[in-house]
Structure 1
């Protein structure tokens, strides 16, 4: 396998739903566009990505959501792009179809109590479901990387939770560690950079809202008050 020099992950820029949660009840999630600020954020991220590429080619995998495609377009990568793949497995976690904001807010509270990895939204997915499709996507990446003409860099344009779960799968993080991590902000980058040993390092890391190590498991978690 000819693994890339770096795997760059980018969360889409600010979307209309980041400003107005009620938009979900009238526009399908996958058709929600970026705001003007989101476009500006994506352009700034494009400058950062071009600097990281240093003139090398990149193979791009993009979520089929409008906000991801608009982010890709605003990056302005031009001739640096070797090929673009639309990749549905990089989509946002499915919460529902047209969403009732009050119902979703209630379910988010339940998810906070139950855990983001295992809680499944009604008519939607759990974090573990997204983890499973990311695992399938990695198999595709490995096949692509085996091609002798594959570009030296990979770019994933996706969503915050999906980025965390990609890294969880890649680095074999525990569920407890995943639960301690915050999503990146809109248009923030995370890069897996290959070292001389062939192993990848994540830079920068995800911020944590509580201290947990990558190897801690449910055995190390505080006991629930409800037995």
Structure 2
């Protein structure tokens, strides 16, 4: 079962370089153009989806609506489990403001990157509980050869595809993803365990009319 993960287009929070987390910022005009560009690419390759899932936050949901309008998917299923990681007191602040308010934030090590419990936000453990719940939800509701489109957020999507693929990376490893990056997973069974493998990753800036669905890029997740 192919699963396409797409991060939302540029939001007002992205433009202002704000820690968004669970806060609801709409897309910018550029963000809408980004979504239309990705939708055109999907449409041009005849990609159709049996189901489209989205975070309830408007920046992701509007991206999903734009994509669905171009792929023939008018029904968007919102799912609370796809919300962005809650950053607690960091939300609404720029990086500089985060460091000014919480000096220790600047000294955070890589293993702490996806855990915001010290700031009143979500712990890494809680994030992974809901990520695994969502994966289980998809596996129970959809079978081969159905194709699924999931539109959400950088933090959530990275944890989602890391867990789905069973990547042997540090417990709290966290990287960012550029707006409208596309990630294709293929579900597979290994030793009786249903997981997924990363098939390709395509940052928005590499979209080109000469690309085909067989094109592959799987070195590192794109940075913001």
Distance in 2 between the 1:76 and 1:83 partners?
Answer: 8
Q: How does 1:49-198 map to 2 (within 5 A)?
A: 49-52=42-45, 54=46, 56-77=48-69, 80-81=72-73, 83-96=75-88, 99-101=92-94, 104-105=98-99, 106=102, 108-112=105-109, 115-146=112-143, 152-176=146-170, 179=173, 182-193=175-186
SS of residue matched to 1:77? helix
Q: Gaps spanning 5+ residues in structure 2: where?
A: 202-217
State the 1:134 CA deviation.
0.4
Match of 2:28 among 8, 26, 35: 35
The number of residue pairs the alignment matches comes to 197
Query: Residue 113 and residue 193 in structure 1: after superposition, are their counterparts in 2 closer, same or farther (change >3 A)?
Result: closer
Query: Residue 136 and residue 76 in structure 1: after superposition, are their counterparts in 2 closer, same or farther (change >3 A)?
Result: closer
Give me the TM-score of the superposition, normalised by structure 2.
Answer: 0.72
Assess if the C-alpha contact under 8 Å between 2:8 and 2:59 holds in 1. Answer: yes
Aligned residue number for residue 9 of structure 2: 13
Distance in 1 between the 2:170 and 2:84 partners?
Answer: 21
State the 1:122 CA deviation.
1.3
Q: List structure 1 segments (4+ residues) > 4 angstroms apart after TM superposition.
A: 100-103, 197-200
Assess if the C-alpha contact under 8 Å between 1:55 and 1:80 holds in 2. Answer: no
State the 1:75 CA deviation.
1.9
Q: Gaps spanning 5+ residues in structure 1: where?
A: 210-227
Q: Indicate the RMSD between aligned Cα atoms, in angstroms.
A: 3.3
126-135 or 61-70, larger mean C-alpha shift: 126-135
SS of residue matched to 1:207? coil
Assess if the C-alpha contact under 8 Å between 1:58 and 1:151 holds in 2. Answer: no
Give me the TM-score of the superposition, normalised by structure 1.
Answer: 0.72
